[in-house]
């Protein structure tokens, strides 16, 4: 049997499925710290996206991987020589791409949101269980040491009962998404709150540490085909109240703040898990929690594959967020009527 150090140093032979703007952002991070990773092949149907991807590899002095534009053909030809895939395609494609990759015997890191419905999430979980392979959802909040620490302090630490949670996300999303697939609900599965706002819903659910039981919500499409603004109120199993607010037509920006009010502390956090601040009972102000910087989603996935950490963002996390999102949509369709979650 290989030693622990040998497992940790093993190179993960990887396929990148989808090479759009978000995928290229991830690739930049991978190419800046390529230890443990070899991008063997990519799967991108658009020639322009592949050309831009090639430039990244050339600038990094790394061999440009082959592009096989058809997923089935790529898996047929390369799965035997791969260990994992990173799926960064439009949201509505995630389910089929995850299932096909698991069937091919590969571990999977998939961009958020994991899939677009509860039923798809349940099928992914069943396929994960059937194949025994790893599935991690690229929710930076769940993957970050900061949110993991905050969750532990809230539920296993000294801060007492959680009394209320409030979170807001804002971005100049409407203008950035104009003319792109994110504004097509059949491809995106939703608008601002299902895209950038998915991070807010997920991290709030992570910090809550329990299920929502009912939700009331409103969505405003602002003359677009998908939601641009959202407001929601929810109640957890314990009775704790939660408020969620999203504005996707803000001035040029992309930010968030989550407040968690507990009996003996007030926590503030970024939904991506970049920072957490805490004001404990008796403190005059907040202090920034000093923890190691968040590694990229890909590098945290490598940590999970190597057994260095437990999987902090399994597909059950994706299902949890989709239950909340479905309740928000159902309530909004009923003009804010309270619905079960």
pLDDT band at 294 (very low <50, low <70, confident <90, very high): confident
Say how far apart CA 304 and CA 313 lie, in whole Å.
Answer: 10
Read off the pLDDT of residues 77-119 as tens digits, 9 standing for 90 and up: 999 999 999 999 999 999 999 999 999 999 999 999 999 999 9
DSSP assignment, residue 180?
A: S
pLDDT in tens, 244-278: 999 999 999 999 999 999 999 999 999 999 999 99
> Whole-angstrom Cα distance, residue 135 to residue 238?
30
| pLDDT above 50: residue 68 | yes
What mean pLDDT do residues 302-306 have? 97
Question: Taking a C-beta distance cutoff of 8 angstroms, is the pair 266, 260 a contact?
Answer: yes
Across-strand partners of 212?
A: 236
Mean pLDDT in the chain? 95
Q: pTM of the predicted model, to two decimals?
A: 0.94
The 10 Å Cβ neighbour count of residue 80 is: 9
Check: CB of residue 40 under 8 Å from CB of residue 82. Answer: yes
Q: Is the pLDDT of residue 3 over 60?
A: no
Distance CA(73)–CA(50), nearest Å, equals: 17
Question: How far apart (Å, rounded) are the C-alpha atoms in residues 48 and 45?
Answer: 9
pLDDT score, position 8: 47
Q: Which of 77, 113, 142, 90 is nearest to 329 (CA)?
A: 113
Residue 10: pLDDT band with limits 50, 70, 90: confident
Mean pLDDT of all residues in 201-228: 96
3-state secondary structure of 157: coil
Domains of the chain: residue spans and CATH: 4-138 (3.40.50.720), 141-291+314-340 (3.30.360.10)
| C-alpha pair distances (Å), 278 with each of 230, 257, 267, 295 | 27, 13, 4, 22
pLDDT at residue 9, as a whole number: 58
Quickly state the pLDDT bin for 37 (edges 50, 70, 90).
Answer: very high
| Relative orientation angle of helices 315-333 and 197-208, to the nearest 10 degrees | 110
The pLDDT of residue 1 is above 70: no
The pair phi, psi for residue 84, each rounded to 5°, is -155, 165
CA-to-CA distance for 40 and 38, rounded, in angstroms?
A: 6
d(CA 330, CA 337): 8
């Amino acid at each position: 049997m290989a030693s622990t150090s040998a497992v940790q140093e093993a190179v993960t032979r990887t396929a990148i499925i989808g090479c759009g703007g978000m995928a290229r952002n991830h690739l930049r991070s991978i190419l800046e710290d390529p230890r443990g990773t070899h991008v063997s092949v990519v799967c991108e149907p658009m020639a322009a996206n592949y050309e831009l991807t090639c430039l990244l590899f050339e600038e990094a002095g790394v061999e440009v991987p082959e592009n096989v534009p058809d997923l089935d053909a790529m898996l047929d030809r390369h799965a035997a020589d791969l260990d994992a895939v990173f799926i960064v395609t439009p949201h509505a494609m995630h389910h089929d791409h995850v299932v096909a990759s698991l069937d091919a015997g590969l571990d999977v890191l998939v961009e958020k949101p994991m899939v677009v419905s509860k039923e798809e999430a349940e099928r992914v979980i069943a396929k994960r269980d059937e194949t025994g392979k790893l599935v991690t959802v690229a929710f930076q909040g769940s993957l970050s040491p900061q949110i993991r620490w905050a969750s532990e302090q809230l539920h296993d630490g000294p801060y007492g009962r959680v009394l209320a949670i409030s979170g807001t996300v804002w971005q100049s999303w409407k203008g950035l998404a104009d003319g792109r697939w994110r504004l097509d609900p059949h491809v995106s599965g939703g608008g601002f709150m299902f895209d950038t706002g998915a991070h807010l819903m997920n991290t709030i659910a992570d910090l809550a540490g329990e299920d929502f039981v009912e939700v009331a919500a409103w969505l405003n499409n602002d003359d677009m085909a998908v939601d641009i603004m959202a407001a929601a109120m929810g109640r957890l199993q314990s009775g704790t109240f939660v408020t969620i607010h999203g504005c996707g037509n803000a001035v040029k920006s992309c930010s968030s703040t989550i407040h968690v009010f507990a009996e003996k502390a007030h926590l503030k956090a970024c939904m991506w898990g970049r920072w957490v601040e805490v004001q404990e009972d008796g403190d005059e102000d907040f202090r920034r929690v000093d923890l190691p910087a968040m590694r990229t989603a890909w590098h945290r996935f490598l940590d999970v594959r190597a057994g260095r950490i437990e999987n902090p963002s399994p597909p059950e996390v994706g299902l949890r967020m989709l239950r909340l999102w479905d309740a928000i949509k159902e309530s909004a369709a009923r003009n804010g009527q309270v619905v079960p979650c």
